Amino acid sequence: LRQAEIALYRAKSLGKNKVVFFQENMQKNLERRVSLENMLFTAIQKKELYLEFQPQYHIPDRRLRGFEVLVRWESPQLGHIPPVDFIPLAEANGSIVTIGKWILQEACREYMSVLANYERKPTLSVNISVVQFRSPDFMDMVRSVLAETGIDPANLEFEITESVCINSPEQTKAILKELKQLGIRLSMDDFGTGYSSLSYLRTLPLDVVKIDKSFIDPIGTIPDDKNIVRSIIDMAHQLDLQVVAEGIESLNQFDYLVRYNCDYIQGNYLGRPAPIHTL
Ligand code: C2E
Ligand code: CA
Ligand code: CA
């Protein structure tokens, strides 16, 4: 790419009326982005993607609730690439539709292959990107994965973010209702970080809200009555939603969540590293 093109590309990504002079690291960033994109397209065929299953536990009896599926990318050329780096790329170029389908299929297959080991059937929570959610054959894709893997939809949970509510709220509601009719549970991820109004959220057929780690981190460092986690839990319970808290790393945080009746925790547990199960 010519240097002027790179500067233009960067200026566009910053918005209108921005002047950007070419810098060497811009070229490096762009090259990395382009090569990441190319490699991402072939990552599935090359079997470079795999899944981790992060456990969720019931509070306070510590019974296993289920697992959230987290995608991982190990590239022979680039090493480990975290999902926060490649999911947005996959969303921008549309490959998230293919990747997301693979994630759902693979997660259900792995789940079914170990189900017999569990006395109580665990919940399988799968992240659904807004781009995937909006793709025209999303519902057909979901039905075909259910049919081909034989998973009981009652054990399947989809995690969506508030961004699915922006733009076409009525269409969103319709798809969520179809998913509910199939028997799939619905969870609002990163609850509280988006901009959707509470009055809209309460019209959605949700089962669970997940409180983001950014709300959990300050627990113990600020007074309880200054912390909004407590209000989020109360509000969710008033709407008959269950609450999963993410990223608990200290006993202080655990005690707080017990004290204010949070239902489940996910991730690092009582200061120990999160037991990442391969199911
Ligand atoms: P998320 O859905 O909010 O996922 C939770 C993230 O918090 C995960 O990071 C998880 O490993 C991390 N986490 C949970 N507990 C702890 C903790 O106690 N300490 C720390 N330090 N971290 C904790 P991860 O796996 O890097 O995923 C980041 C984001 O990437 C996810 O945020 C989600 O937005 C996206 N993502 C990951 N897997 C998938 C996937 O399969 N599909 C889609 N569409 N997005 C995914
Ligand atoms: Ca999630
Ligand atoms: Ca989160």
**Interval 198-244: pLDDT, tens:** 778 889 999 999 999 899 999 988 888 888 899 999 999 999 999 99
Residue among 52, 68, 27 at smallest CA distance from 159: 68
Half-sphere exposure of 266 (CA within 13 A, CB side): 25
Mutate which of 44, 67, 127, 249 for ligand 1 pocket (most atoms within 8 A of beta carbon): 127
pLDDT of residue 115: 96
Nearest atom, ligand 1, residue 84 CA: 30
**Mean pLDDT rounded to a whole number for the chain:** 87
Task: Evaluate whether 123 touches 187 at the Cβ level (below 8 Å).
Answer: no
pLDDT for res 102: 97
What is the residue with the minimal CA distance to atom 19 of ligand 1? Answer: 247
| Stated pTM of the model | 0.88
CB neighbourhood size of 222 (10 A): 9
Closest by Cα among 215, 206, 207, 209 to 248? 215
- pLDDT at residue 135 is higher than 60: yes
Q: Cα(first)–Cα(last) distance of the chain, in Å?
A: 45
Q: What angle do CA 240, 245, 247 make, to 5 degrees?
A: 170
Give the pLDDT score at 21.
60
Q: Got the DSSP string for 50-119?
A: EEEEEEEEETTT--EEEEEEEEEEEETTTEEE-HHHHHHHHHHHSTHHHHHHHHHHHHHHHHHHHGGG-S
Per-residue pLDDT at 179: 98
In the prediction, which pLDDT does 50 show? 96
As a whole number of angstroms, the distance between CA 197 and CA 199 comes to: 5
Contact 245, 230 (CB under 8 A): no
Q: Which ligand is nearest to the CA of 159?
A: 2
Q: Please say whether the beta carbons of 58 and 263 come within 8 A.
A: yes
Question: Which stretch of 163-167, 179-183, 254-258 has the lowest confidence by average pLDDT?
Answer: 163-167
Predicted confidence band of residue 273 (pLDDT cuts 50, 70, 90): very low
Interval 54-68: pLDDT, tens: 999 998 778 899 999
Alpha helices by DSSP H, the chain: 3-14, 24-43, 83-93, 96-114, 130-134, 138-149, 169-182, 198-201, 213-216, 229-238, 251-259
Contact 162, 190 (CB under 8 A): yes
Bond before 223 cis per omega within 30 degrees? no
* Tens digits of residue pLDDT in 87-116: 999 999 999 999 999 999 999 999 999 999
More confident site: 196 or 8: 196
User: Which pLDDT value is given to residue 257?
Assistant: 93
Those residues whose beta carbon sits under 5 angstroms from the ion ligand 2 are 127, 159, 189
Say yes or no: CB of residue 81 within 6 Å of ligand 1.
Answer: no
Q: How many residues does the chain have?
A: 279
Q: Which pLDDT score is estimated for 17? A: 59
Q: What is the pLDDT of residue 279?
A: 43
